[in-house]
């Protein structure tokens, strides 16, 4: 199941580029992945030979564009094993998908005194919408804490669920900082037993391994195309019975069935939640990204990344004073965040950039998690199917340079 990384890299035009005269070592796929030529070609084909607005025209270009757009939706549905293609809603990004739930489901179902439970390891996109919903509705927002080794403290979960006030539990399928892979199916079982629905942020998971929404335990799941070799669009998956009950998030064209002067009726799923002209070429590009990843194989990608992250954590232990945040390699995905006491992460990233290495520096849209570990920021290396052990070696060499320049 090993990947032919040189052959894969050859399909990504950006890797022909040099940074500061050095080979590009891209280690920021957790923020956004690079794009292979088949995805670029699919989008260029739309823009140059096949663009028209969808669902509305009866001429050839419009019918072709509509068919390609809906075919991409069907590909995504198969990719996550959705039971119904109508459960797959195209949104701008995972953030919009989570906000859609907070407004369309939350406004109708969260009441004063109710509780919303999330975890300390969430991305801001899975924190701020719930903060705002709790404030609007007079609800309580509670957190499942993170242990010193970067795992969820599941011992506190019963106390958050047993009184019957919790109506929603939101959890990342993988932490974008710690790489932690929480036992989300177990969390979902506990939440459902207490009568709560479960929202999962899968932005860091769907690009890297097989996700089956029919067995995962989620009621809603959001993820982003730009992290999975695709363009800047997102997907919200939800259970049909819940989506049917919800009011639209946005209003306007295409999400309606009929419009009269004083009232309107909504379109069927998924169109009820897709107001206005969508990102047509981008959705088709996401379908091409699904084809690309499926052709390589998600199991092979996951196995490849697990090998890289184990190698990376071993090599990073050679860097003086470097502290890796989070669990061991068997309990994390392809993300390694670290802290050098003598060097601010921004300085680390700037020095690594001189060597052609791209890492993230900052709080990674997870300030509460960094507060939990009493650090202002971290540097993050994230790996994908186009990375290999040599990229790790270059990273470690670059970090030794950081220590030489900035170390005590």
Rounded distance, CA 220 to CA 105, Å?
Answer: 10
Catalytic residue among 171, 229, 358, 365: 365
Is residue 26 a contact partner of residue 34, using CB atoms and an 8 Å limit? Answer: yes
Is residue 83 a contact partner of residue 68, using CB atoms and an 8 Å limit? Answer: no
What six digits make up the tokens of 225?
């195309």
Residues contacting 37, CB < 8 A, separation 6+ = 11, 12, 13
User: ∠ CA(126), CA(78), CA(270), 5° rounding?
Assistant: 60
Backbone angles phi, psi at 25, to 5 degrees: -115, 100
Residue matched to tokens 């790790």: 392
Question: How buried is residue 331: exposed, middle or buried, by Cβ count under 10 Å (0-12/13-18/19+)?
Answer: middle
**Is there a catalytic annotation at residue 365?**
yes
Residue matched to tokens 């170390």: 407
The string of DSSP codes covering 136-180 is HHT-EEEEE-B-TTS-B-GGGHHHHHTTS-EEEEEEESS-TTT-B
Query: Virtual CA dihedral for 353, 355, 374, 372, nearest 10 degrees?
Result: 70
Question: How buried is residue 404: exposed, middle or buried, by Cβ count under 10 Å (0-12/13-18/19+)?
Answer: exposed
What six digits make up the tokens of 71?
């075919």
Question: How buried is residue 273: exposed, middle or buried, by Cβ count under 10 Å (0-12/13-18/19+)?
Answer: buried
DSSP 321: T
End-to-end alpha-carbon separation of the chain, Å?
44
What six digits make up the tokens of 181?
């892979």
The neighbouring-strand residues paired with 340 are 343
Strand order in the sheet with 360-362: 323-325, 335-339, 378-382, 360-362
3-state secondary structure of 8: helix
Rounded distance, CA 28 to CA 148, Å?
Answer: 25
Q: Which residues are catalytic, by number?
A: 365
């Amino acid at each position: 199941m090993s990947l032919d990384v040189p052959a894969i890299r050859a399909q990504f035009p950006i890797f022909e580029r040099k940074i500061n005269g050095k080979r590009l070592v891209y280690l920021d796929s957790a923020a956004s992945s690079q794009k292979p030529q088949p995805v670029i070609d699919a989008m260029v084909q739309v823009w140059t030979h096949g663009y028209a607005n969808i669902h509305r025209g009866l001429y050839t270009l419009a019918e072709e564009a509509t068919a390609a757009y809906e075919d991409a939706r069907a590909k995504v549905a198969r990719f996550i094993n959705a039971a119904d293609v109508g459960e797959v809603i195209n949104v701008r990004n995972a953030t919009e998908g989570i906000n859609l739930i907070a407004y369309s489901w939350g406004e109708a179902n969260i009441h004063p005194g109710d509780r919303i439970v999330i975890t300390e390891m969430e991305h801001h996109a899975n924190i701020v919408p719930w903060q705002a919903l709790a404030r609007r509705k007079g609800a309580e927002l509670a957190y499942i804490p993170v242990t010193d080794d970067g795992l969820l403290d599941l011992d506190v979960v019963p106390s958050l669920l047993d009184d019957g006030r919790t109506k929603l539990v939101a959890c990342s399928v993988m932490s974008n900082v710690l790489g932690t892979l929480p036992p989300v199916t177990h969390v979902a079982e506990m939440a459902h037993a207490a009568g709560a629905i479960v929202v999962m942020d899968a932005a860091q998971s769907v690009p890297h391994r097989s996700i089956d929404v029919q067995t995962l335990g989620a009621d809603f799941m959001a993820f982003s195309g730009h992290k999975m070799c695709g363009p800047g669009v997102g997907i919200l998956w939800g259970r049909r019975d819940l989506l049917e009950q919800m009011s639209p998030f946005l209003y306007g064209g295409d999400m309606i069935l009929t419009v009269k002067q004083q009232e309107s009726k909504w379109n069927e799923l998924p169109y009820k939640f897709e107001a206005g002209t969508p990102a047509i070429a981008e959705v088709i590009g996401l379908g091409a990204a699904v084809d690309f990843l499926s052709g390589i194989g998600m199991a092979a990608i996951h196995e490849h990344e697990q090998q890289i992250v184990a190698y990376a954590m071993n090599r990073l232990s050679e860097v003086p004073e470097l502290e890796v945040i989070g669990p061991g390699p068997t309990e994390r995905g392809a993300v390694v965040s670290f802290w050098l006491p003598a060097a601010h992460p921004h300085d680390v990233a700037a020095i690594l950039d001189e060597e052609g290495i791209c890492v993230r520096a900052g709080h990674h849209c997870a300030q509460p998690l960094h507060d939990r570990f009493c650090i202002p920021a971290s540097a993050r290396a994230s790996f994908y199917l186009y990375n290999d052990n040599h990229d790790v070696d270059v990273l470690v060499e670059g970090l030794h340079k950081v220590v030489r320049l900035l170390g005590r």
